[in-house]
Amino acid sequence: MRKTLLSVALIATMSLSASNPFFGKYKTPHETAPFSEIKIEHYMPAFEEGIRQNQLEIDAIVKNRAVPTFDNTIVALENSGKLLDKVSSVFYNLLSSESSDELMELSKQVQPLLSENSNNIRLNTLLFNKVKEVYDNQERFNLTPEQKMLLKKTYEGFEASGATLNDADKEKYRELSQQLGQLTLMFGQNALKATNAFEMVITDEADLAGLPQGVKDAASLAAKQKGKEGYLFTLQATSYGPFMKYSSRRDLREKMYRAYNSRCIGGEFDNLENVRQIAATRLAIAQLLGKSTYAEQALDKRMAKNQENVYNLLNQLLEAYRPTAIQEVRELQGFAIGMEGQDITLMPWDFGYYSEKLKDAKYSINDEMMKPYFPLESVKKGVFGLATRLYGVTFKKNSKIPVYHPEVEAFDVFDKNGKFLSVLYTDFHPREGKRAGAWMSSYKGQWIANGKNSRPHITIVMNFTRPTEDKPALLTYDEVNTFLHEFGHALHGMMANTTYESMSGTSVYRDFVELPSQIMENFMSEKEFLDTFAAHYQTGETIPVELIEKIKASSNYNTGYACLRQLSFGLVDMAFHTINAPINDDLFVFEQNALGKSQILPSVDGTLFSSTFSHIFAGGYAAGYYSYKWAEVLDADAFSVFHTQGLFDQNTAESFRENILEKGGTEDPMELYKRFRGQEPSIEALMRRDGIIN
């Protein structure tokens, strides 16, 4: 009887394996993920098998009796876990871009398994001893610079994951890392659910005062899709942003602002305790590893090196930009009083509204004037075309590549010589299963093995304005800018050309990764670029020279306030990650103290942005949000070369590709930057671009 039961179980397992698309090669173009074949029940068996195979690979390295070498230890470790990576890339990408209650629940089961597997590898004493032996004797192996960097990162990765701890502390590390994984997962899920939970339905036309027809059309369509009467407004960026910018109903702007900035404060999706626990757990891990703060631990592997250098940058910018920001707010306050004919105190829910009105008054330009020239399909051609002019790459839609949602498109990307370079997925519009914001990721990385350059599968995901019943998707200026930003990340991934996947593409220091994305934004105000795609969606008229001149003239509008807003995020991030004891203070007070001089408008009781600050509490930017400003210094300085040599200068573009985009994390980023630029960057180029200095 027992033999029969075992046979039945074995047959069932074999049957499941045979039907599981994760096992074996994908039978799709470029072996892309076969999304339509992947079911919820396929994930857990694939994760479990991936972990089992990964452990066998690690055991083989440990049990190898040969003297540890770069190949039999470091490369073998680099090449382990392929099935696990394959499953994880699909699972976690969909968890962000096409999530569901089932995926979210499954993630709570998967996260501890992955944390345990990672800890089993990083805390394996015998494995670490082999890695250390190779590291200590690396001069024997005649390594290339890329191999030396892989060895360095491998060794330091073990160190940072507790490999040098004693047995008792290793167990503490296991517990803390498991706990941190669950906390960050819950934080992100709460933020998504809280965003989706709020709806404001308007049925009285008077309550739509000030809203452009396009915004009303989008809200009307959203209501219809939900089976509601009237106009539906949500906390999704494409709904919330336009409402705050155009609604002349100050009471409703306040309602939306308070709803947006009180998400995850109390109630079903409360994140306050998660914030405390995430900060405390990171601190505990850092102190276990001999560091005084989490920032000290994290910044050791960044260009900034230490928290003093981060604060030096933030305070330098604060001192330089604050006077301009104060003047901008004073001007806006006076404008608002004049516009309303009465004294009002400018509040955070007023800034976007009056700012848009003042911009229109000063420069005769606003989003509604520009949107007709930015239909999504034209913008795609423009952004893709920019890559063609700079790097010679071309894009061809491939309908045979499976996608995870009907709105997603997949492209074959070809190099200037017609050789296949990458797959690119594009996903532009908000859905309830998609988290807020915009990002680039990959379903498969790039590496070179056995003479074959295995090319990557890259995705860019955004939350842009949807088409309405009678208009195509017309993007705002900021949305086009966001497209350029994420596309810059995509180029970094698509042009990767390294031997080892773990150092390929965007696998670079956090404060270097934003350079390829932010440098692309510089093209947005350039006539030569806009002329290549910006045409009226109805008449086909090319964007007028006068409008481009207005875009250029207004490019530094409120630049001081915008800088201080970014600095405020960086300061709050650093405050949470430079603590040397768990936070016992009221989090509202803690956040206010952290904001300091970066805050100019009045604070609002009951609001907090930390409770949904997913970049640092659910993403990879902990003690790293300053990276955006750090990279702005780099991108302003780097783009000055394009300005000097010519916007589409082939030599400059090729140098940027060879020294930045292709190299990934194979060398120290400052050395790569200097190889392109010829010198270290300075803050002056950024201040000059922003009009702070002449």
The string of pLDDT tens digits covering residues 622-670 is: 999 999 999 999 999 999 999 999 999 999 999 999 999 999 999 999 9
Q: How far is CA 109 from CA 42, 47, 104, 181, 183, in A?
A: 14, 11, 9, 11, 13
User: Mind listing the pLDDT tens digit for each residue in 495-512?
Assistant: 999 999 999 999 999 999
CB-neighbour burial class of residue 272 (10 A; exposed 0-12, middle 13-18, buried 19+):
middle
Is 252 a residue whose pLDDT tops 90?
Answer: yes
User: Mind listing the pLDDT tens digit for each residue in 488-547?
Assistant: 999 999 999 999 999 999 999 999 999 999 999 999 999 999 999 999 999 999 999 999
Say what the pLDDT of residue 694 is.
77
Residue 258 CB partners (closer than 8 Å, separation 6+): 349, 604, 606, 607
Whole-number Å distance between alpha carbons of 427 and 222: 19
Active site (catalytic) residues: 486
Is 348 a residue whose pLDDT tops 50?
Answer: yes
Is 549 a residue whose pLDDT tops 80?
Answer: yes
Residue 16 banded pLDDT, cuts 50, 70, 90: low
Identity of the residue numbered 627: S
Is 382 a residue whose pLDDT tops 80?
Answer: yes
Residue 239 CB partners (closer than 8 Å, separation 6+): 218, 219, 222, 232, 233
Identity of the residue numbered 118: S
2-164, what's its fold? Neurolysin; domain 3 (1.10.1370)
Please compute the mean of the pLDDT values over residues 433-446 and round it to a whole number: 95
Residues of the chain with CATH 1.10.1370.40: 2-164, 371-555
Percent of the chain with pLDDT over 70: 98
Is 121 a residue whose pLDDT tops 70?
Answer: yes
Residue 683 banded pLDDT, cuts 50, 70, 90: confident
Residue carrying structure tokens 């701890």:
165
User: Mind listing the pLDDT tens digit for each residue in 583-631?
Assistant: 999 999 999 999 999 999 999 999 999 999 999 999 999 999 999 999 9
Say what the pLDDT of residue 11 is.
46
Residue carrying structure tokens 């891990």:
285
Q: Are 604 and 348 in contact (CB under 8 A)?
A: yes
Pairing of strands 447-449, 200-202: unpaired
Q: How far is CA 373 from CA 303, 535, 546, in A?
A: 39, 5, 13
Beta bridge partners of 424: 411, 458
Q: Are 237 and 282 in contact (CB under 8 A)?
A: no
Whole-number Å distance between alpha carbons of 410 and 375: 19
Q: Are 511 and 630 in contact (CB under 8 A)?
A: yes
Whole-number Å distance between alpha carbons of 53 and 369: 57
371-555, what's its fold? Neurolysin; domain 3 (1.10.1370)
